Amino acid sequence: MLAAQCWQRLQCWQLNTGNATGTFKKGDMLPGLKSKLEAACVLALIASGLLHAGLFLVMDRDWDDPLSFRKATLFGLSTGVTLWSCLWANSYLQPSKYDDQLRRTLCVTLVLEVFLITLQTWRKQLSHFNHNGPLNGLIELAMLLLISIAVLAIFQITYRSWSRNILHAPSNAIAWAVRWGMLLLCLSALAGYAITWIGQYQLAQGLSPTHWKTRGVLKFPHGAALHAIQTLALVAWLADRFNIHQGARIIHCLAAAHVCWLLYALYQTFAGLDRFEFDSGSLTLLVATILCAVASIIPVIRQQTAHR
């Protein structure tokens, strides 16, 4: 009964919001999703992350323990919202005959990727940099292949979003949120490939595959701007919702903040510094990040002041 009421409320919210943004149609499963398969994949990934978060809480393992449910939790939640965001961004693009195939490819590859990571957790095996036995090596190779196929699809969406007359968003703020968010997602994916290659090289040299110069955390740059598309989309929606006139400028400033934060993460890692171990270079980039973020608030303050 409760589930039915929640579903009815979701459909009502979807139809009402769709009239304002032009994004959804009656019959869409969730905002930006066009089929039951897409909704099922997104919800399954998020549900998996939440389930393993609960399991982690009752387990006697440290968060940093690679054999805890940390990765199953983070990859479930992170991949779920990332898949949803990519499908949402694609829904604003001019329809293409390859759209359905691309969207299905994203769903299947990302769900299988998280399934294999979760499987390794339940097998009490490392999901990455694990060459112990043929099965572990095969699983890691399959994960690399799956994520590479998904990244190619993400690159395609990003390329089309920056192409002329392809992106049809309801506002400039939403349009720039899609463009910058997808571009930063691509940069995060490239950072992921780089740290994988570096990690494998270091492992072959008998060094740690997860750290550079002892203290630099290799995965830090990969995650630094991975979820920029969600923050930019949320801010763009809020700007439209509350009629902020310079929504696009706000998105540009926040995108610059994300870029500075990514540069900060890269600097910290390859200078051999921990995430919050500062020197003059890292402080400069951190201040630049904060200034860009503060600059995004100025149009809101000016508009509120003008209305007084």
Quick check: 26 pLDDT over 90? no
Whether 259 contacts 225, CB under 8 Å:
yes
For position 62, what pLDDT does the model report? 83
For the beta carbon of residue 201, count every other beta carbon within 10 angstroms. 11
Using CA atoms, how far apart are residues 167 and 182, in angstroms rounded to an integer? 12
Average pLDDT of span 283-295: 97
Quick check: 17 pLDDT over 50? no
Query: For 235-244, what is each residue's pLDDT tens digit?
Result: 999 999 999 8
Using CA atoms, how far apart are residues 153 and 179, in angstroms rounded to an integer? 15
| CATH code for the part of the protein at 30-168 | 1.20.120
Local confidence band at 14 (pLDDT 50, 70, 90 cut-offs): very low
Residue extents of the structural domains in the chain: 30-168, 172-308
Using CA atoms, how far apart are residues 249 and 257, in angstroms rounded to an integer? 12
Average pLDDT of span 137-162: 96
Quick check: 25 pLDDT over 60? no
Give pTM, 2 decimals.
0.88
Quick check: 159 pLDDT over 50? yes
For position 6, what pLDDT does the model report? 41
Q: Quick one: tokens of 257?
A: 């903040």
Using CA atoms, how far apart are residues 198 and 88, in angstroms rounded to an integer? 33
Quick check: 202 pLDDT over 50? yes
Quick check: 44 pLDDT over 60? yes
For position 28, what pLDDT does the model report? 54
For position 60, what pLDDT does the model report? 78
For position 299, what pLDDT does the model report? 86
Using CA atoms, how far apart are residues 254 and 290, in angstroms rounded to an integer? 10
Query: For 96-112, what is each residue's pLDDT tens digit?
Result: 999 999 999 999 999 99
Share the mean pLDDT of the chain.
89
For position 171, what pLDDT does the model report? 94
Average pLDDT of span 64-78: 89
For position 7, what pLDDT does the model report? 42
Residues 6+ apart with CB under 8 A from 92: 23, 161, 167, 168, 169, 174, 175, 178
